[in-house]
Amino acid sequence: VNATPTNMTTLLLSEEQTMLADSARKWVARHGAPTSSEAGDAERWRSMAELGWLALPLPEALGGLGGSTVDLCTLAEALGQAAQPTPWAAAAVLGAGLLAQAAPEAVAAEWAPLLAEGHRRVAFAAFEPGAQRALSPQITTAQRTAGGWQLNGSKALVLGGPADAWLLLARLHDRHDELGYFLLPRSAPGLRVESGRLVDGQPVCTLQLQGVQLHGALRTGPAEDLLAMADTAQARATLAHGAELVGAMAQALQLTLDYLKTRRQFGKPIAANQVVQHRLVDLHVQIEEARAITRAAAAVFDGAALPLRRRWCAAAAACVAQAAHHQWEEVLQLHGAIAMTQEHDIGRYIKRLAVGRQLHGDAHGHLARLADLSLPNTD
C-alpha cells in the first residue's frame, strides 16, 4: 500500500513523449477549430490516423504502436487543450483497445489495420440506461439460436462518435454466471441508433436492440473474467479522459489569465487585484497536482500489481473530477458575464469541464472506491 509510483518508474516524460506532446499541440493549433460537424470529425479522424495516433493504443502484435499508458495520456492532455469533440480517447483508446483484447486473434488481426488507418471506428457501449457506470449488463441479453445469437436490450450514453460497430457485453440467456462480448455492426437489423450530443458538443448515442441476429460472439466466459477485461480497458480510458481534462483546464486557465490581464475595471487590470491573483494561484496549483497524479497513475498502470494500480487510478480520477468541477465554476466567475455568452471561447472549456467532471465518474464515486481499496474491510 505504501509503494509509490517512483519506486518503479519515472514521472518525467521521455524525449519521444515530449515530441509527441509537441506535435499534438501543433495539430491542435491547426485542427482545434470548434466545429462539431460530421465532416469536421471525419477530417480530424483521418489526420489522426496519418499521424499514427489511432495505432498508438493498439498492441504491436496486431501492427499497432503499442503505446504505454503514459504515451496515451501525454497525447490526450495535448488534445484536451482544444476541447474539441473528436472522441479519440473513447474510440481509439477504449473501443479499439478493448476490441483488440476481447476479440479472437483472427478477428482482432482483421480489424486492427482498419482501426489504425481510420477506415473503421469501434466504440464500447459500456453502460445501460439508468445503471450509472455499472459495467455488468443487466438488461442486455444474448440467446443462442440455430444461426448464432439473438440480442435484446439497450445501451446508453455511448461515446466515441460515428462508429461503424459497437462492442458490448451481454448476459447469456442460458447461463447466469456467464457473459459474452459481441460486435454489433451499425447495419445490423433490429438495431436502432439514437444519436445526439452532450451539452459540450460531444457525440453520444443510445442503442436499442430488438431481436438483433449475429452469427457469432467475440468471446463468452465467466462474468468475472469478462468484466475484469472491461474494467481494465475502462480504467485506462478514464485516465486518458482525465488527461484530456487536465489539458482543457490548463488551456481554460490560460484564457482566463489572458483575459484578466487585459480587461480593466476601476482603473486597473482585473488581475492586479490580490484577491483575484490568489484565486488564480489556487487554480494553477490544482491543475499541477491533477497533472502529476494522472501521470503517476499512468506510470503505474502498465506494470504495477492490480491493487496499487486501482488505488492510483481511483485517486487520480477523484482528483481530476474535483478539479474540473472547481475550475469551471471559478473560470466562469473570474471571466464574469462574458463567460455566459457564446462569443468567448472560454464557454467551450466551461462546458467540457462541467461535463467531464461527471461523465467519467464523479469525485464521490471515485473517492468511495479509493476508500474501499485503501481501508481495511470493516464489514
Summarize as ranges the residues that interact with other proteins (CB under 8 A): 4-6, 10-12, 257, 261, 271-272, 274, 277-278, 280-282, 284-285, 288-290, 292-293, 295-296, 312, 315-316, 319
Q: Which lies closer to other proteins via its Cβ, residue 16 or residue 38?
A: 16
Nearer to other proteins, 61 or 285 (CB): 285
Per DSSP, 343 falls in state S
- Closer residue to other proteins in complex, CB, 127/312: 312
Instruction: Determine the number of helices (DSSP H) and then strands (DSSP E) in the chain.
Output: 10, 10
Output the nine-digit C-alpha cell for 188: 445490423
Nearest to 95 by CA among 139, 68, 66, 58: 58
- Cβ 292 to other proteins, closest distance in Å? 4
- Residue with C-alpha cell 453502460? 127
Nearest distance from residue 2's CB to other proteins, in Å? 11
Give the helix/strand (H/E) hosting 9: none
**Angle (nearest 5°) at CA 174 between 192 and 165:** 30
Nearer to other proteins, 215 or 268 (CB): 268
Residue 190, classified by CB atoms within 10 Å of its CB into exposed (0-12), middle (13-18) or buried (19+), is middle
CB of 255 to other proteins, least distance (A): 13
All cell numbers assigned to 27: 495539430
CB of residue 302 to other proteins, shortest distance in Å: 17
**Distance in angstroms (rounded) separating the CA atoms of residues 18 and 14:** 6
Bridge partner list, 269: 264
Closest to other proteins by CB, 315 vs 354, is: 315
CB 108 within 8 A of CB 185: no
Q: Decide whether 1 or 199 has the Cβ nearer to other proteins.
A: 1
What is the spatial distance between Cα 219 and Cα 286, in angstroms, rounded to a whole number? 42
Cα–Cα dist 290/305, whole Å: 22
Q: Specify the residue, 214 or 313, whose C-beta has the smaller distance to other proteins.
A: 313
Beta strand 178-185 pairing with 219-222: antiparallel
Q: Report, in Å, the least distance between residue 68 CB and other proteins.
A: 17
We find the least distance from the C-beta atom of residue 308 to other proteins, in angstroms, to be 11
At closest approach, how far in Å is the CB of 323 from other proteins?
9
To other proteins, the closest distance from the beta carbon of 70 in angstroms equals 13
Work out how close the CB of 77 gets to other proteins at its nearest, in angstroms, rounded to a whole number. Answer: 14
116-129 burial: b if 16+ Cβ within 10 Å, else e:
bebebbbbbbbbbe
- Grid cell listed for 37: 460537424
Q: Which lies closer to other proteins via its Cβ, residue 261 or residue 264?
A: 261
| Burial environment of residue 57 by CB neighbours within 10 A (0 to 12, 13 to 18, 19 or more) | buried
Q: Which is nearer to other proteins, 28 or 318 (CB)?
A: 318
Helix (H) / strand (E) containing 193? strand 191-197
